A = this chain, B = another copy of it.
Amino acid sequence: MLILGIDPGSWHAGFGVVEQHGSTLRAIEHGRISCRRGATLPERLAHLSLELGALLARTKPDAAAVEAPFHGRNTRSLIVLAEARGALLATLATGGVSTREYSPAEVKSAVTGNGRAEKTQVSRMVRLLLALPSAALSNDTTDALAVAICCAQRWKFELRVGGRQA
């Protein structure tokens, strides 16, 4: 079972592909898609979509997971983030990958046991659960891996109760 976690953004999108094998989790590939400086919004959305399409073709995940939009931001950044999410969700569905959505609290709870955990604690637990070296991982990469871990943990439960889709 291969799960792709994505942390959307309109300049950088983090991604992490996690393999679940029984109770074992393993990071297969992780990183971030970055857009070139000075690119317009449509150019960035097209670049994110294109790079995600290549990632899907290469890794062939069984499912994808993203964090639900967080409402506490200012309206302008909320809109741009939603535009990036939209381009990425369209690409996932075009690639035939079913996508699940989890709230920030669900992700934190799945990774640390505490829905209100600090970012540094989430990042530490992601490295621990996936046995990743402590080398610098960008925040969007650990966030993407965290949502993939959340999806992996919830998978069987969600199948049993009928699943929720973004």
Contacts and interface: CB of A to CB of B under 8 A. Distances in A.
Interface string A24-61: 00000000000000001111011011100000000000
Given A78-B79, A79-B82, A93 B166 contact: no
A75 interface: yes
Interface stretch (A84-92, A103-111, A149-157): A84-92
Nearest to A46: B93
Contacts of A120: none
Given A46-B90, A80-B82, A82-B82, 9 more contacts: A40-B93, A40-B166, A42-B90, A42-B99, A42-B165, A45-B89, A78-B79, A84-B86, A87-B89
A45 B91 CA distance: 8
B165 A93 contact: no
Interface residues of A, number: 31
Interface centre among A82, A83, A90, A99 (most CB of B within 10 A): A90
Contacts of A165: 40, 42
Most B C-beta atoms less than 10 A away, residue of A48, A82, A85, A99: A82
Q: Tell me the number of copies of this protein.
A: 2
Contacts of A79: 69, 78-79, 82
Nearest to A49: B90
Nearest to A10: B86
A50 B93 CA distance: 11
B41 A89 contact: yes
Contacts of A84: 86
Contact of A83 (B41, B43, B86): B86
